[in-house]
Amino acid sequence: MEVILSNGKNEVKLGETVPYVLQNFETSVDIENYETKGINQDGARKDGSTLNPRSIFIELTIAAHTHEELIDLKRKITAVCSPKKEITLRYVDINIREIIATPLKMPYFSEIHKNASKCLLYFKCYNPYWSDVLQIKNDIAKWFDAFIFPCEFLQEGIELGYRDPIKIVNVRNDGDHKCDMFIKILAKGNVERPKIMNVDTGEYIALNMVMHEGEIIEIRTEYGNKSITSIINGQRKSIWSKKDYRSVFFSLYPGDNPIKYDADDNINNMDVTIYYKERYLEV
């Protein structure tokens, strides 16, 4: 098992070998239950539950050859655990998961002898879910090759490729919780009122606009970070006002998600790709 701490500028690896020897890794999440109790009611009615932020505690031993090296190794731990930066905490075992963590305290050091020290780290993860390191990519509007070599080009021409006639593609989420999406739509020509829908729930995102050839639209459905951006010739601008008022920034629910792409006109000019990271309750 290995734990990697990184803040974008500094990184340390905690594992089974020196200099940073991982001794203990503990994590927990409290559950918040909501309930209603009426007059003369025995018991109560549960209205729902949510997860509180995740707590992580790490104990390690820092082993060095010299006292000067020990001081340098402690300084590196302190630099990674700066309270001014968020930390990506990566847990490497059978699976590789990561989570965004915030230090609750500066590292606590307790000297064992002049070349070794115990170190305690405390973190709070405001988003309690672990996620995959790499995004999953799903092309839901596909073109397929229609020829192979050797190939004879006939006078009347041949079909080099074709669009998948099925406009509904299953996007599977094997995580423990619904996950946000990053949707990328590329226009190969004019596209009128592009639309992405979850067939099971009826939730959709539609844009009241005409996309032009070469235009890219990026849609983020992340809670607290929702956005709709148009990119033309490298220039980015928000097109939030183009969103249909009934649009919902839906998520991918655990299990199967039949996703349909659509447009009022020129649907075959759309290339649609969905990116997402599955979420997990534990590593």
Q: Which of 222, 178, 207 is nearest to 272 (CA)?
A: 207
> Which residue matches tokens 């534990």?
282
Does a structural domain hold residue 41? no
Among residues 128, 163, 196, which one ends one of the domains? 128
Cα 208 from Cα 264, distance rounded (Å): 10
pLDDT at 169 over 60: yes
pLDDT tens column, 220-278: 999 889 999 999 999 999 999 999 999 999 999 999 999 999 999 999 999 999 999 99
Same domain, 113 and 195: no
Of 96, 128, 160, the residue at which a domain comes to its end is: 128
Give the CATH number of the domain where residue 64 resides: 2.40.30.200
How many domains is the chain built from?
Answer: 2
Give the span between the Cα atoms of 269 and 220, in whole angstroms. 21
Domain boundary among 101, 128, 155: 128
pLDDT tens-digit map of 183-227: 999 999 999 999 999 999 999 999 999 999 999 999 999 988 999
Structural domain containing residue 180: 136-280
pLDDT tens-place string over residues 139-149: 887 655 544 55
- Which pLDDT value is given to residue 157? 47
156 has pLDDT over 70: no
**Is 222 part of a structural domain of the chain?**
yes
Residue 16 lies in a domain: yes
Question: Is residue 22 located within the same domain as residue 91?
Answer: yes
Residues 146 and 268 in one domain: yes
What tokens appear for 85 in the block?
């930066």
Q: Are strands 108-113 and 116-125 parallel, antiparallel or unpaired?
A: antiparallel
**Nearest in space to 119 (alpha carbons), one of 62, 197, 191:** 62
Q: Report the phi/psi class of residue 73: left, alpha or beta, with left for phi > 0 and alpha for psi in -120 to 50.
A: alpha
Query: Is pLDDT above 80 for 76?
Result: yes
Same domain, 103 and 167: no
Quick check: 161 and 146 in contact, CB under 8 A? Answer: yes
Write the pLDDT tens digit of every residue in 83-140.
888 999 999 999 999 999 999 999 999 999 899 999 999 999 999 999 999 999 998 8
Residues 6+ apart with CB under 8 A from 43: 37
Q: What pLDDT, on the 0 to 100 scale, is given for residue 158?
A: 44
Residue 78 falls within a domain, yes or no? Answer: yes
- The predicted model scores a pTM of 0.85
Could you tell me the CATH number of the domain that includes residue 168?
A: 2.60.120.860
Examine the domain organization and report whether 169 and 266 are in the same domain.
Answer: yes
* Cα(114)–Cα(70) distance, integer angstroms: 8
For the chain, what is the mean pLDDT?
A: 91
- Assess whether 234 and 170 both reside in one domain: yes
In DSSP terms, which residues pair with 25 in a beta bridge? Answer: 58
Do both 95 and 191 map to the same domain?
no
